Amino acid sequence: MKNQITTSARKSLEKQQYRLVGSHSAVKVCHWTKSMIRGRGGCYKFKFYGIRSHQCMQMTTSLSCANRCTFCWRDYKAPVSKEWKWSIDDPEFILSNSLKAHEKLLIGFGGYDDRNDRAFKESKNVKHVALSLTGEPIIYPKINELIRLFHKNRISTFLVTNGQYPEQLRNLERVTQLYISVDAPNRELLKEIDKPLFHDYWARLRKSLEIMAQRKDRSVIRITAIKDLNMCDEEGYAELIRLGDPDFIEVKGYMYIGASMKRLKRQNMPNHKEVKEWSSKLLKYLPDYELVSEHKPSIVTLLAKKKFKGKTLIDFDKFFKEVITNKP
Ligand code: SF4
Low-confidence ranges of the chain (pLDDT < 70): 1-2, 76-77, 326-328
Using a 6 Å cutoff on CB, does residue 159 contact ligand 1?
A: no
Using a 6 Å cutoff on CB, does residue 58 contact ligand 1?
A: yes
Distance 159 CA to ligand 1 centre (A): 11
Atom of ligand 1 nearest to the CA of 58: 7
- The C-alpha atoms of residue 46 and residue 87 are separated, in whole angstroms, by 35
What single string gives the DSSP state of each residue in 84-102?
Answer: --S----HHHHHHHHHHHH
Q: pTM of the predicted model, to two decimals? A: 0.96
pLDDT at 251: 98
SS3 31: helix
In a domain, 50, yes or no: yes
* Total residue count of the chain as it appears in this document: 328
Give the structural domain span for 50. Answer: 7-320
Distance 55 CA to ligand 1 centre (A): 9
Kindly report, residue by residue over 281-296, the tens digit of the pLDDT.
999 999 999 999 999 9
Atom of ligand 1 nearest to the CA of 54: 5
- The C-alpha atoms of residue 279 and residue 225 are separated, in whole angstroms, by 10
Q: How far, CA to CA in Å, does 164 sit from each of 82, 87, 133, 159, 199?
A: 9, 21, 17, 14, 10
Kindly report, residue by residue over 245-299, the tens digit of the pLDDT.
999 999 999 999 988 999 999 999 999 999 999 999 999 999 999 999 999 999 9
Are 225 and 254 contacting, i.e. CB atoms less than 8 angstroms apart?
A: yes
Using a 6 Å cutoff on CB, does residue 33 contact ligand 1?
A: yes
pLDDT at 77: 63
- The C-alpha atoms of residue 156 and residue 33 are separated, in whole angstroms, by 16
In a domain, 1, yes or no: no
Name the residue with the closest Cα to ligand 1, atom 8: 30
- The C-alpha atoms of residue 10 and residue 148 are separated, in whole angstroms, by 28
In a domain, 113, yes or no: yes
In a domain, 62, yes or no: yes
In a domain, 45, yes or no: yes
The H or E element containing residue 22 is none
* Strand pairing category for 177-181 and 218-225: parallel
In a domain, 38, yes or no: yes
In a domain, 328, yes or no: no
In a domain, 176, yes or no: yes
How many domains are contained in the chain? 1
Using a 6 Å cutoff on CB, does residue 164 contact ligand 1?
A: no
Atom of ligand 1 nearest to the CA of 130: 7
Distance 270 CA to ligand 1 centre (A): 21
For residue 177, the domain's CATH number is 3.20.20.70
